[in-house]
Amino acid sequence: MKNRIITISRQYGSGGRHIGEMLSKKLNFDFYDKELIEIVAKRTGINKQYLESKEEKFTNDNLFFSAFHKEFFSSPFASKTRDSTLDKIFEIQREVIMNIANKGNCVIIGRCASFILKDCHKCFNIFVHAPNDRRIQRITDEYGVKMENAETQLKNTDKYRANYYKYYTGGDWDDMTNYNLTIDSGYFNDEDICSIIINALKKNI
């Protein structure tokens, strides 16, 4: 029987990472978020802080490239060759995601995991979102972001994630048809969301 893989995409400040971590503990699944950075850093020798700075976002050269060459918004498995640092990191991270998905049950946060695994694993793909005011409250209370910077940080981080997803999959990050379940973390608390996901997962076994 194939491993059970849960992927969680999330708006910044929606609490998707925390929900994923809670879920992994309740299900006794392996959990991968920043853990992926550590694996890639060990495998490549690339500085962990550098990898963190590139997480799910483009460098300036990628933004310039994508803005003026929209025809290159396609799958990383297309015939066109990419050789930027970000592209190389993505390819290594893709291999790591494939490997961990083959090892056992797990929860993977972001990083186009639902797309990467779509042909080889039956994933339960989740998108966590919330109203802006609830997200601002979370990032100021829990992430330590200053209130005056919160709205800009929300917009920028969501834009980074959307561009990253578009560049590597050719699809839209916020297209709800990409997911099996979308859920509003401003309406439900994290504990209730975990219960909803677990119940939905049981029905899909």
Beta strands 123-129 and 30-32 are unpaired
Q: Report yes or no: 17 and 193 within 8 Å, Cβ to Cβ.
A: no
Tell me the C-alpha distance between 184 and 196, whole Å: 12
pLDDT digits (tens, 9 = 90+) for 95-139: 999 999 999 999 999 999 999 998 877 899 999 999 999 999 999
Q: Which amino acid is at 56?
A: E
Q: Indicate whether 11 pLDDT > 80.
A: yes
Tell me which amino acid residue 133 is.
D
Tell me the pTM: 0.83
d(CA 116, CA 96): 11
The pLDDT score that the predictor gives to residue 122 is: 82
Determine contact, residues 123/9, Cβ cutoff 8 Å.
Answer: no
CA distance 146 to 151: 10
Give me the residue label for tokens 């194939």: 2
What's 67's domain CATH number?
A: 3.40.50.300
* Alpha-helical runs (H) found in 45-146: 48-53, 60-68, 85-103, 113-116, 132-141
Q: Quote the domain boundaries for residue 82.
A: 5-203
Count of domains observed in the chain: 1
In the chain, how many H helices and how many E strands? 9, 5
Q: How far apart are CA 145 and CA 138, in angstroms?
A: 9
User: Tokens standing for 117?
Assistant: 């695994």
Q: Encode pLDDT of 52-106 as tens digits.
A: 776 666 544 444 344 433 443 444 444 444 557 778 888 989 999 999 999 999 9
Beta bridge partners of 124: 6
- Residue 97: HSE in the Cβ half-sphere, 13 Å Cα cutoff: 26
* Residues paired with residue 181 on neighbouring β-strands, in sequence order: 126
